[in-house]
């Protein structure tokens, strides 16, 4: 799958964001190793701590459908904001080699590796 298609799907998912409090729309598209794409948007809650980020929404959808390996994630916001720390840690559970494409609504895009965004992530091996 081409990066631009993944960004397009994240952009589309962003339009479905439920953001009555912040107005900050985020869309994500997560490419599984199977080739299937799982999209997500942020969903706010009046109890702010219960808000779900777009990246975690996409990952939960993927895992709930049996996908456990991921190739790339596209995240789209107005200004190209990076995933939050909680999302970085959540995604690290499934591998540190994930390509992360961060795009803005003007078409600018930057690429990272999850391992660069969250070096020395806490992992399941730490629990053994």
**Of the listed 55, 65, 67, 126, which one is catalytic?**
55
Q: How many other C-beta atoms can be found within 10 angstroms of the C-beta atom of residue 71?
A: 17
Cβ 10 vs Cβ 39: under 8 Å: yes
Helix (H), strand (E) at residue 73: strand 70-77
Between CA 9 and CA 63 the distance in angstroms is 19
Between CA 97 and CA 99 the distance in angstroms is 6
Residue 55 among the catalytic residues: yes
Q: Provide φ and ψ at 39, rounded to 5°.
A: -105, 160
The tokens for 34 are: 């199977």
Q: Catalytic site residues?
A: 55
């Amino acid at each position: 799958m081409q990066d631009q298609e993944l960004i397009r799907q994240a952009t589309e998912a962003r339009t479905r964001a439920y953001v009555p409090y912040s107005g900050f729309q985020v869309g994500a598209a997560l490419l599984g190793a199977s080739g299937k794409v799982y999209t997500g948007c942020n969903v706010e809650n009046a109890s702010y701590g219960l808000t779900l980020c777009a990246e975690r929404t996409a990952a939960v959808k993927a895992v709930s459908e049996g996908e456990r390996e991921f190739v790339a994630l596209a995240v789209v916001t107005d200004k190209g904001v990076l995933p939050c720390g909680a999302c970085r840690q959540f995604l690290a559970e499934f591998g540190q080699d994930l390509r992360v494409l961060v795009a803005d609504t003007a078409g600018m895009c930057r690429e990272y590796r999850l391992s660069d965004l969250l070096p020395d992530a806490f992992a399941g091996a730490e629990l053994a």
